[in-house]
Structure 1
Amino acid sequence: MACQSVSIINMDEQALLGLNPNADACYRQKAMVYFEQLKESQDAWEVCAEALAKGIYSDDHVKFFCFQEGKERWREGGGGRRRGGGGGERLMNSQPEKPFIRNKAAQVFALTFVMEYLTHWPKFFFDLLSLVGLNPHGVDVYLRTLMAIDAEVVDRDILHSPEEVRRNTLIKDGMREQVIPSLVESWYQILGAYQQSHPEITCQCLEVVGAYVSWIDLNLIANDRFVNLLLSQMSVEDLREEACDCLFEIVNKGMDPTDKTKLVESLCQVLQSAGFFNVDQEEDVDFLAKFSRLVNGMGQSLVLSWTKLAKGGDVKAAAEALRALETKVPLLLQLLVHDDDDISANIVGFCYDYLNVLKQDIMLAVMKKLTYDEEYNFDNEGEDEAMFVEYRKQLKMLLDRLAQVSPDLLLEAVGRVFNNTIQRWQTASFMEVEVAIRLLYMLGEALPASHGAHFSGDTAKTSALQDMMRTLVSSGLSGYQHTFFETVVRYDKFFLVEPQHIPNVLMSFLDHRGLRHSSPKVRSRVAYLFSRFVKTLHKHMNSFIEDILSRIQDLLELAPPENGFPALLTSDDQLFIFETAGVLIVHGESPAERKQALMRSLLTPLTDAFRLLLAKLASEREEERQAALADCLSHAVGFASRTSKAFSNKQTVKQCGCTEVYRDCLQTFLPALSCPVQRGSLRSAVRSFLHRMIICLEEEVLPFVPAASEHMLKDCEAKDLQEFIPLISQITAKFKDQVSPFLQQVFMPLVLAIFEVLCRPAEDNDQAAALEKQMLRRSYFTFIQTITSSGMNEVLANQGVENVERVLFTIIQGAVDFPDPIAQKTCFIILSKLVELWGGKDGMAGFPDFIYKHIVPACFLAPLKPSFDLTDAQTVLGPEFIQYLQQEYLPSLQVSPDITQEVCQVLQQPDAKVLKNYMKAFFQRAKL
């Protein structure tokens, strides 16, 4: 048949044939042209609507096109109410149409509803319902229309414009007010009427209920009449999967947590009574997959209810929700371990949420048990208090473990307890507030390292901590000394973010709440915490420096024994205060002159008091009083030394203009070295100060070293020498060539003093004396090692041949004879270095001979000693050494030529591991 032109006035019969996918290509082309022209026509929808209303065409593709045209026209804002009615009526009363035709018709009706309901057609549903009756075809289109309306108005997965969102809100409000009760009643009637005859319609209706329940009044659905009907359909094989889905949507409906708990529990009771909890007896895995999804929804709803009630402080209702939750655990586990993965997967959400509840429940229990008993005695802690402190440590470990698993949960739980308590801290008990602050403190260690400084990185975490810290420092809680200062210092980085809080916290440190608290224990702890606080935040304290120094001035005074009044702080506590004062001065923004003046005013009272006390000590005869005076003098030196810890590479003593101040201190303290009484403590204090000055004063300290050394070498005991050697080693390593002349001068006096002490007789069973000698011997060898490794071999070389030999023999003796692995290793390192320095052609005269006669034998004799650790042996190698071993030394030990050759070959191969293993085996054989 030849293709012909088309007309738009009436539906073209021949063009309609082209809608069939099996039609001839010519007709398909004609249809495309025709319908493109029809779409452009203003009368297109009227033509389509008339064709649908009169039932002119029986072809499904033509009907689909007509409805599609209606849908497109409605999308564009056209169409009309009366024009669509005939098609709908025919759909509801004629023979059933194909599903895709019914779906398309439902879309047209839904769009008609959306466009007309609020303005021209408020009775849309009543008109629609009047057409339904009990006709299955009409009910089908009615339900499909309701689902299409849900898609247009409610579906959250569809993106709507702001205008459409406003329109949809008005539509839902209008429906709730005008038609929802009637719609719900129609659903109830449909569910009851068709469950036997038309289960597919019942399933459709269940889907509609599930879709609409999220935004309508739940009481219309969640009532005995409706729920009993749904539960009865759970037992109908064709309906139960859809009934499960519908109940799931009901359970997921947002509502009051207490009411939700009651709803879920009532559902569970009925389901359990009906035998649905007997999962092992159910063979229908498709139904079980739906059922596990329902159980998952019920479980998660109970978790949500518990969380809301717990946060809201409704303890009783929260406990009921928790009990309801716990009774579902056996069912949860049955579904989780089911062989079918879909069934198991559907319950995982509930499982995860329940674990979170368990963790939160444990956290809350731990937080409660952390609280001090009312009987706890802070001022006089006895056995009971000690036991509770130990128990608290165990609880903290449990909290730390929970934090590793769920840091966010812990942060949230602590935040809830902290905020709830602090809001009412003035009426709450001391113990409640204390544990709230303690929990905030514990977070610092409990939260993973990834939280870093706690106030950078994850905004959610940092803001929660920051909010709690802000509350802590601005709520008048500084009276809780047991935990306030600890927490402030643990989170000192908070003040870098919000420095405006620093002045108030500083005052709490300085007044009766802190350093001047009535309890010595609190004062002592605050002294340490204050030093840490200032070290972190000194850059933000520049404008307060002199005020702080003025306020702590009386805490810096020495407390001489004749004072008679107990000091606020112990001498150990004062060390922290002096260091704090030093940090404030050194790191302030004042010019060097001002820093010098502040440092002098800080240290001059110490030096003045030192001179007076030293004069008193020299003339004091009573031993107890001597000890007290020496103790006070040592404290003065220690305080001055502690202030020097404030200096750094960026802020040196010299840059701060404080060199002269510390030189004056040295000048004042050094005479104590020659004090005839209480030498031990005084020498120790001054020696420690010299250690600090070597670091801080650099070469400015050198003029003081010879006189100090001379005093310290007089009348030495083993301990004196042992403590003096590190000082000389420090000077050697730091200044090297600058102190070479001094070292050459002091070397033999020091060595002879060491020899003299080591040679003193002692009782065989005096283990303390033996240990002192062992430590002194180690210090001696370490000193020699320092000299050789610093490239200052001239110090040793210039001591004269006799003295050099004497020293060398002590090193050989240390390598071989003394059962001290640490000393042996040091000696072999020294020997190795000396061979490197003096073993060549330009080395010390006679030393190569010493190598072969003494060093090489030592390398073999030492490993043969029972105390020698063969896993840590060291060997000196070289061509001449190999020759000497092969031709002289090994034959002298009666070693066979074969083994001698074997040893020498192994010594020359490059693999150190092979050498080590061979030598270990060699010496083990030799020991047998």
Structure 2
Amino acid sequence: MDEQIISAIQIAYDPSANPALKRQAFDYVNQLRQEPSAWQPCLAISLQVPRQPMVIRVYCLEIVNNAVQGGLVDQQGLKTIEDQLMTYLRKFYGEPGQTDTPDPGTIVNKFAQTVTFLFSTFYGAGWETCFDDLLALTSTGSGPKDNYPGLIFYLTVLNAIHDEIGDQLLSRSRAEQDRANTLKDLIRARDVQKIARSWEEILSHWGTSNDVVAELCLKAIGKWVSWVDISFVVNQSMLELLFQQLERAQKVDPRKSEEQARDAAIDVFTETVAKKMPSADKVNMITFLNLETVVSQLVTCPPLRDSRASNYDVDLAETVAKLVNTTTVDIVKVLETETQGSPTWVKAEQLLVAFLPHLLRFFSDIFDEVCSTVLNAMNDVLTFLRRTSQGENASAQRAQMLLPILKGIFLKMRYDDTADWGQEDEQTDEAEFQELRKRLAGLQSAIAAADEQLYIDAISALVHDTFERLRSEGSGLNWRDLDLALHEVYLIGDLAVRGGGLYQKNKPNSPAAEKLVRMMLEMVQSNTGSFAHPAIQLQYMEISVRYSSFFEKHSEYIQPVLQNFLELAHHPSLKVKARAWYLIQRLIRQLRGFVGNAAEAVVQRLQDLLAIRAELPSEEDRDDMSSDGDSATDSTFTSQLYLFEAVGCICGANTVPSDKQVQYLSAVMQPLFVDIERNLEAARSGNELAGLQVHHGIMALGTIARGFSDFNPGLATQGSGVEPSPQAKQAFAQVAEVTLVSLTALNSSFQIRTAARFAFSRLIGMVGTQMMQQLPQWVDGLLTDSSTRDEMALFLRLLDQVIFGFKNDIQDFLDRLFSGLLQRVFAGISAATAGTDDEIELAELKREYLNFLMVILGNDLGAILVSARNQPIFDSVIGSIEHLARDVDDFPTAKMAFLLLSRMCTVWGGPDVVSATGQANGSVPGPQPALPGFDQFMITRFSPLCWALPTNPSFNSKDAQARQALSEAAGLQKTIYTKTGQQYLTWLQEKELRTMGMNDNMIAEYLQKLATMEPKAFKVFFAKFIAQGGQIPAAKASADLPGALPHTFDNLDELLERPSSIDPSTQPANLYDQFVVESVKMAKSKNSSQHNQAKKAHKNGIKKPKTFRYPSLKGTDPKFRRNHKHALHGTMKALKEVREGKRDAA
């Protein structure tokens, strides 16, 4: 078998092997992993002398390791592996003068892994001498640890054992963690002293003569210190050895191995500080280790002396920063947990003051990875200072700590002098820098919370100084300085507009807002927008838009700022230009009431940017596009649409005369009309580019309409946008005509239908009732045989908008198109689905269909559904709603269906016969439906639907959406009852409920709830009724309970509502009667203490509802309370068993 395994592995890993043979070999070697006995030949192969090739040994050791770790080896097998492995290790790793070629590092690591897995499985019972055996490999005799191969192996195993049982970052199951804890306890009890002693001996013998051994030993110490007694590391002899290793940092040009050993020594201090211990011990340990001095010496060592020098050691900086971060975090924890002013707290505060300069040193490091290492500590420090400052006035001592931190943040917020903005190869660095800026902004916010005035003053000074330099130096100012100032202007707004805006009662709303106004004045007065750097231009525009309310109070600066925006809209950089197109739209919209006098200039200045040049996506773009996404080559047009919206917005400003509005609109729209007309015939002939050009033109026209006005006829009385003038309406009517002509000609194109639907929704408010005459044409164009369900749903949503806006004018048009429209919708709903996307679109179409009908009924247009023209489809409409109300796979749609049915009952059911709680309406003696016979229709068609969901085997009463649907089903029953009264109750009693297996008591109980409960309470009752009974037929299970109220009562209040037929003076016949008699008698007692005792008993015996509160029982007889509680608790338990069929009711 050995030869077979060796041959299979050789073939499997031979690049030149026959593919078919190679597959067979792979199958064979993979099967070995599952074979319980495969470890035996694999162990022999891996230990064979002469040695097999490394790939064979590695794979064989992997098989052995999997078997040990996976529990495939019994105790005897584990002992065999240990004996054979240790024999090999003693011969080749432990004997002095060994002349054989040493095992390569990969094999050493694999053997170490095998020993680690053996240790985990076998150390508790079977291999108690594990560490003694390993330590024996480190010496050639009884002397010092002088055997290099054995040392390397021993230290490698120590590191691997920690990774297996002590690494806190490793996710473990509960059983694995328990086993790891047990192993650590055993090590502490048996071997930790000899292991710690070996560390000292190894560092003493090898610490300065062999960097590899020193590094491995230091790594082991750094790992193990987290879970062994601290005294094994923090003692005089060990510390001397550790400090000796730190001296490596003073070397000017160390070897790589020396650097690694040095960094490992620093990590030992970091892990020692991070060890959990009481606050006083932690402070004393930091002091004893003299860490402040250690860090000071490291900070000034040659590799860290100058961060801009070529020999600056970033790895060392990160390592020391980690030590500073860990120490500072622990110091802050002590300050937060100890009582202020206590000896421990005072010592911790002194340590924080001592470490703060080191924290700032690494926080301000020019390398972002070093800065990021101490961000956690910096955040903790600022959080602590913020908490301690609450309710206190600003102090000089706190300012001394906060101001250097804030200045350090400013320094890190600034672009590095070596950074080049906008370069392709700098994009990753740029993204990382912006992410760092976000984290730094959080630190700034913490400083603002700790000392707001200091924060405001520091930013004000920075910004003021920078704008002063801009005035004096002009373009000679370093763009990075100006970018930093603008970035801080942008950020201070988070504080300045915190109260809801920059101004309140025409004055800045806070000191921060007042400072921001001054900064904005300096920004516009220094002509920042003309600074010739893209980063500055983008910041300038973002700030101007974000604080546009500033220009409302300083309108004299609007024209110069608007001129800057128009210049930047023509910027040679696509990134700047595209962003300017979006921001100019935002600026004009926000300052619409102030820019009308510039309308002509804006339109003329943007005219050259409004020429549309459609581009077909490249093959690469087509491959990358999502199903509904724009191609990369067409992204320019997406940005260009913002310009069309800006033009529409400024043309529609109230200060622009009506004739001028039309004149400016015409100047922009006429070229679009001509372009659409020029491309229409080619698009009809199948020219894809021409079709895309038409699509773009329609989208542009619709976007102009969107910008021109927000007017919605249906919201005219609620302060919506201003209604367009007759001249403007006529201009947009021409847009509607051009769009409709294009749609009619190209309605087979999905793109054109999408653009036309977009334009239609924007033109409704612009054109008004004139569009109603074209509504059938729009329907024919937008809904074709090839229209998707998504298109149908979107169009129904559009019609909702039309109905809402023109309900007084639309009835005739809607009546004519209703049947045809619904036929298309029914076809879409009934079509087969082929995947998740189709199912999502189908669910959306169903809901939009129901909402469409709801909107019709809600706007007094219900007559359309039953008109002579639409009468033939009415039964199909009702049938479709009934079908959707039964759908257990789509509860949101079922809920909407029940809501719609309730609405129909309200609209066509006539006046209420009774109130919701059963009071008769004297003026209405009986049902008077608006539609003849609709009272019976509601009862016979709608009412049974309320039970359709819960009687479905797939219904899950625990589903939250299912409960919502049930709630609306209960609402439908209530509505039918108010419209038909006793007639409905009689139907339920004689027909509906009895056919479901309910007995007389259950029926009477249910009808009483329906007739007397408020609608909200009945909805809760109905949901509980269903949930506690599972499915309705299951009610039979408890129908035999004497006088039972099946599945309903959960607290005393519900029980008291139940009319009891039991005579309290008689002897209770069973447990249920006993429960009723005692509880009702006590709860109805005039004796308040007994009443309260009954409630307390029910509280203990029954799950307490969230809204039910019980009075206090202070002062009552404890014995009585206890006995009553136990009695009722037993009764409730017995009743539950009866319901579950575990106990006979009698």
TM-score for the superposition, normalised by structure 2: 0.48
Counterpart of 2:442 in structure 1: which amino acid? M
Q: State the 1:740 CA deviation.
A: 1.5
2:411 maps to which residue? Answer: 368
Aligned residue type for 2:405: I
From 700, 714, 722, give the equivalent of 2:793: 722
Equivalence for 2:1024:
921
Aligned residue for 1:483? 539
Is 1:786 equivalent to 2:855 in the alignment?
yes
- State the match for 1:797 in structure 2: 866
Q: How does 1:212-291 map to 2 (within 5 A)?
A: none
Residues 520 and 569, structure 1, Cα contact 8 Å, conserved in 2: no
Question: Structure 1 residue 594 and structure 2 residue 660: aligned?
Answer: yes
Alignment CA distance shift 1:919-1:631 (3 Å): same
- Pairing partner for 1:672 from 708, 727, 742: 742
Instruction: Tell me by how many angstroms 1:653 deviates.
Output: 5.0
Over residues 672-705 of structure 1, what are the superposed CA-to-partner deviations in whole Å (9 max), with x where a residue is unaligned? 2223476211112112211122222221221221
Report the alpha carbon displacement of residue 846 of structure 1 after superposing the two structures with TM.
Answer: 3.7
> Looking at both structures, which has the greater relative contact order when contacts are Cα pairs under 8 Å and sequence separation is at least 6?
1
Counterpart for residue 893 of structure 1: 996
* Equivalent-residue separation in structure 2 for 1:626 and 1:538 (angstroms): 35
Tell whether the 8 Å contact from 2:610 to 2:644 is kept in structure 1 after alignment.
yes
Contact 2:585 2:646 in 1 (8 A): yes
**Contact 2:739/2:756 (<8 A) preserved:** yes
Consecutive unaligned residues in structure 2, runs of 5 or more? 1-340, 358-383, 619-631, 713-718, 911-927, 1035-1146
Matching of residue 695 in structure 1 with residue 765 in structure 2: yes
Supply the distance in 2 between the matched residues of 1:801 and 1:702 (Cα, whole angstroms): 23
Aligned mates of 1:830, 1:510 — CA distance in 2: 52
Question: Is the CA contact 1:575–1:642 (under 8 Å) kept in the aligned structure 2?
Answer: no
Answer whether contact 1:453 1:493 (CA < 8 A) is retained. Answer: yes
Which amino acid is the alignment partner of residue 786 of structure 1? V
Paired letter, 2:962: D
Q: Where does 1:32-181 land on structure 2 (aligned, <5 Å)?
A: none
Q: Secondary structure at the match of 1:559?
A: coil
For these two proteins, the number of residue pairs brought into alignment is 582
- The code of the aligned residue for 2:550 comes to F
Q: Which amino acid aligns with 2:945?
A: A
Structure 1: segments with no counterpart, 5+ residues? 1-288, 290-294, 307-332, 338-344
The 8 Å contact of residues 581 and 639 in structure 2, kept in 1 or not, is answered as yes
Q: Go from structure 1 to structure 2 and tell me whether the alpha carbon gap of 1:614 and 1:640 turns closer, same or farther (over 3 Å shift).
A: farther
Q: 1:466 to 1:717 in 2, by over 3 A?
A: closer
Residue 36 of structure 2 corresponds to none
Report the equivalent of 2:481.
432
Distance 2:656 2:811 in 1: 39
How many angstroms does 1:795 deviate by?
0.7
For residues 77-103 of structure 1, the C-alpha deviation after alignment (integer angstroms, 9 at most, x for no partner) is: xxxxxxxxxxxxxxxxxxxxxxxxxxx
Query: What residue in structure 2 maps to residue 534 of structure 1?
Result: 588
Does the Cα contact within 8 Å between 2:492 and 2:512 map onto a contact in 1? no
1:70 corresponding residue in structure 2:
none
- Work out the CA distance in 2 between the residues paired with 1:490 and 1:518: 24
Mapping 1:146-545, distance limit 5 Å: 352-373=395-416, 374-380=418-424, 381-425=426-470, 426=473, 427-447=476-496, 449-450=498-499, 452-453=501-502, 456-458=507-509, 460-478=511-529, 479=531, 480-511=536-567, 514-545=568-599
Range with bigger deviation, 642-651 or 370-379: 642-651
Query: 1:660 Cα shift?
Result: 1.0
The alpha carbon displacement at 1:459 in A equals 7.2
Deviations 1:257-286 (A, max 9, x none): xxxxxxxxxxxxxxxxxxxxxxxxxxxxxx
Partner of 1:660: 730
Please say if residues 555 and 569 of structure 1, whose CA atoms lie closer than 8 Å, have aligned partners that are also in contact. no
Aligned partners of 2:711 and 2:723 also within 8 Å? yes
The residue correspondences of 1:547-696 to structure 2 (distance < 5 A) are: 547-561=601-615, 570-587=636-653, 589-621=655-687, 624-625=688-689, 628-645=692-709, 652=722, 654-655=724-725, 657-676=727-746, 679-696=749-766
1:586 and 1:656 in contact (8 A); partners too? no
Structure 2 counterpart of 1:836, from 901, 906, 909: 906
Aligned 8 A contact 1:610 1:633 in 2: yes
For residue 439 of structure 1, report the CA deviation from its aligned partner: 0.3
Across the aligned residues of Structure 1 and Structure 2, the Cα RMSD in angstroms comes to 3.3
Structure 2: distance between partners of 1:518 and 1:857: 70
1:902 to 998, 1005, 1020: 1005
Partner deviation per Cα, 1:172-202 (whole Å, 9 max, x = no partner) = xxxxxxxxxxxxxxxxxxxxxxxxxxxxxxx
In the alignment, the residues of structure 1 paired with residue 601 and residue 908 of structure 2 have an alpha-carbon distance, to the nearest angstrom, of: 62
Q: Which has the larger radius of gyration?
A: 1
Q: Distance in 1 between matches of 2:550 and 2:637?
A: 31
Q: Deviations over 1:287-319 (max 9, x none)?
A: xx9xxxxx9xxx9xx9xxx9xxxxxxxxxxxxx
Structure 2 counterpart of 1:399, one-letter code: Q
| 1:212-236 deviation per Cα after TM superposition (whole angstroms, max 9, x unaligned) | xxxxxxxxxxxxxxxxxxxxxxxxx
| 8 Å CA contact 1:596, 1:656 repeated in 2 | no
Mapped to 2, the partners of 1:517 and 1:371 lie a distance apart of 25
Find the partner of 1:736 among 785, 797, 807: 807
- Aligned partners of 2:428, 2:1020: CA distance in 1, in Å? 56
Per mean C-alpha deviation after superposition, the further-off stretch among 787-796 and 711-720 is 711-720
3-state secondary structure, aligned to 2:806? helix
Kindly indicate whether residue 831 of structure 2 is the aligned counterpart of residue 772 of structure 1: no
Question: Aligned with 2:571: secondary structure?
Answer: coil
Which secondary structure does the structure 2 equivalent of 1:449 belong to? coil
- Partner SS, residue 658 of structure 1: helix
Between the aligned partners of 2:744 and 2:544, the Cα distance in structure 1 is 46
Residues in 2 aligned to 1:588 and 1:926: alpha-carbon distance in whole angstroms: 63
Cα displacement (A) at 1:774:
1.8
Partner of 2:963: 870
Q: What letter corresponds to residue 869 of structure 1 in structure 2?
A: A
**Does 2:889 align with 1:819?**
yes
Residues of 1 paired with 2:734 and 2:608: CA distance? 23
In the alignment, what sits opposite 1:713?
Answer: 783
Q: Distance in 1 between matches of 2:964 and 2:899?
A: 16
Displacement of 1:864 in angstroms is 4.0
Q: State the AA in 1 paired with 2:865.
A: L
Shift of residue 568, structure 1, vs aligned partner: 12
Q: Which amino acid aligns with 2:403?
A: Q
Seen in structure 2, the aligned counterparts of structure 1 residues 864 and 403 have a Cα distance that, compared at 3 Å, is: farther
Distance 1:832 1:647, change over 3 A: closer
Change (3 A) 1:404 1:825: farther
Say if 1:923 and 1:349 are closer, same or farther in 2 by CA, change over 3 A: closer
User: Aligned pair in 2 of structure 1 residues 695, 505: CA closer, same or farther (>3 Å)?
Assistant: same
What is the alpha-carbon distance in structure 1 between the residues aligned to residue 871 and residue 749 of structure 2? 35
Q: TM-score by structure 1 length?
A: 0.58
Quickly say closer, same or farther: Cα 1:466–1:631, change in 2 above 3 A: same
**SS of match in other structure, 2:583:** helix
Q: CA deviation at 1:476?
A: 3.3
Q: Cα–Cα, structure 1 residues 667 and 406, in superposed 2: closer, same or farther, change >3 Å?
A: same
Aligned CA distance change for structure 1 residues 680 and 745 (closer, same or farther; 3 Å):
same
Decide whether aligned partners of structure 1 residues 735 and 362 sit closer, same or farther in structure 2, where only a CA change above 3 A counts: same
Identical aligned pairs, as a percentage?
22
What is the rounded CA distance, in whole Å, between the counterparts of 2:634 and 2:1009 in structure 1? 71
Partner of 1:755: 826
Whichever residue aligns with residue 382 of structure 1, its letter is Q
Amino acid at match of 2:402: K
SS at structure 2 position matched to 1:697: helix
The code of the aligned residue for 2:541 comes to F
Rounded Cα–Cα distance in structure 2 between residues aligned with 1:568 and 1:496: 36
Matched residue, 1:845:
932
